[in-house]
Copies of this chain bind each other. A is one copy, B any other.
Amino acid sequence: MSGPLQFEIECQSSSCGARLGRVTVPHGSFETPAFMPVGTRGTVKGLLPKQVAATGSQILLNNAYHLMLRPGDELIRELGGVHEFMQWHGPILTDSGGFQAWSLADTNLLGEDGIIFKSIIDGSKVELTPERSMRVQNNLGADIIMAFDDCPPSVDAASRVRDQRPELAAAHDKQVGSDHRRRLVEAIDRTARWLERCVAAHDRSADQALFGIVQGGPDETLRRRSVEQVTAFDLPGYAIGGVAVGESTEVLHATVQMTAPMLPADRPRYLMGVGYERDLVAGVRAGVDMFDCVLPTRNGRSGSIFMPTGRAQIKNARFRADNTVIDARCDCDACGGGFTRAYLRHLFISGEMLGPILLSLHNIRHFQRLMVDIRRVIRDDAWSSLADTWPVLRTPPAEAGHRSASADLTGNHAGSRSMDQ
């Protein structure tokens, strides 16, 4: 293989942009469309790597931001890199840290050079620049690394911050500005300038594939401009950023539908931090190949179960004596293992770790079963049959318990984009 990444497209849907393929990187290959569980700090919370592999996950995401702060990227390099560190020997992708540095810190300074933020660990001042992000990701040694981008919040999220956290409005305005479109323009141009610096600073282009990230909010003109700027660099893959940052489901879907086809067809397209089942399906339909999201694990830890018919809260009293498994057709360790809803409810009510563990296993497997079916209907060119086994895709967001994959820019538990805190 020439370069760190090879992408083969096996077939395409005749009715939409969906395509079936395989990405090969130094630590193995994964089928696309692919869903990546999030292992923020070098662990998918509560699960051994072999349990994650058993869910059908073929590639994981780690966060450069968290690992840089603790235990430190230099240490991980000394210990043999992130694969060896966490004992996941398949493909890994690291996020650049820009989104986290920006969204996890109340007080940060965004400038042309990069972002200065207060460490969430000890409050110390940390500077993250395109060069630093590359050095961190080179040290971590993931198969796929992400450009350091400027990712502003959606206009909806921006006004929510102003309403809900007035004390942060001034700091926020410093970032976003009152003219949101001008901020988006600044972000795409800066993202392009930062990408140039990332390409120059990337020291391991032989064995780490650098993906560029397209910004531009929901605006078609801006997205096109960003795509032109980013694809001017001949990179092994491209990502759609600036989504799942507080916008509505409708805006998210429209942005993806518009942006994905602008990206080169012969490179993997990665939609960052998305999302619910219908969001993944919308992405695949638009021609997206890779996804990551914290929803299956984060929601699982709080007792929220994903099912083909929609979501439910396991702590609900109606499950008290429910002697059935979550989903009789699911083959995860929770459902296949015979653990009843009554038992799972007991674990959550009692604050037992095994509850979050079993629901994380189930929810990730739920997402991977959806991906298996997505790949099957593309192979069979039977796209429209997908919703037959996934009724949740036909349910309006509100009824399915869905809401916009929203980001609250002010808090640690914000957003669905990759940070599984």
Contacts and interface: CB of A to CB of B under 8 A. Distances in A.
- Of the four ranges (under 10, 10 to 19, 20 to 34, 35 or more), the interface on chain A belongs to 35 or more
Contacts of A342: 71, 75, 79, 85
Contacts of A340: 79, 85
Interface stretch (A39-47, A260-268, A403-411): A39-47
A70 B350 contact: yes
A38 to B, nearest CB: 13
Contact of A43 (B71, B338, B352): B352
B80 A339 contact: no
A86 to B, nearest CB: 7
A338 B346 CA distance: 33
A347 B85 CA distance: 11
Contacts of A352: 41, 43, 45
B45 A353 contact: yes
Contact of A42 (B42, B50, B323, B343): B343
Interface in A330-366: 333, 337-340, 342-343, 345-347, 349-350, 352-354, 356-358
Given A80-B323, A87-B339, A343-B86, A45 B354 contact: yes
A122 interface: no
A319 to B, nearest CB: 11
A58 to B, nearest CB: 19
Nearest to A339: B87
A321 interface: yes
Given A42-B346, A343-B86, A71 B320 contact: yes
A78 interface: yes
A382 interface: no
A11 B337 CA distance: 38
A171 interface: no
B353 A353 contact: yes
A347 B47 CA distance: 12
A48 interface: yes
A347 B48 contact: no
A47 B354 contact: yes
Contacts of A347: 43
Interface in A1-60: 41-43, 45-50
Given A323-B80, A340-B79, A357 B70 contact: no
Nearest to A85: B343
Given A79-B321, A323-B80, A340-B79, A346 B45 contact: no
Contacts of A45: 352-354
A353 B356 contact: yes
A86 B347 CA distance: 10
A70 B349 contact: yes
A86 B339 CA distance: 7
A122 to B, nearest CB: 12
Contacts of A323: 79-80
Contacts of A337: 48-50, 87
A81 to B, nearest CB: 12
Interface in A261-287: none
The 9 closest A-B pairs by CB, nearest first: A46-B353, A71-B346, A43-B354, A41-B350, A87-B338, A43-B352, A85-B343, A79-B323, A45-B353
Given A71-B345, A85-B340, A87-B343, 5 more contacts: A41-B350, A48-B333, A48-B358, A79-B342, A353-B353
27 contacts: A41-B350, A41-B352, A43-B347, A43-B354, A45-B354, A46-B46, A46-B353, A46-B354, A46-B357, A48-B337, A48-B354, A48-B358, A70-B349, A70-B350, A71-B320, A71-B346, A75-B320, A75-B342, A79-B321, A79-B340, A80-B323, A85-B343, A86-B343, A87-B337, A87-B339, A87-B343, A353-B356
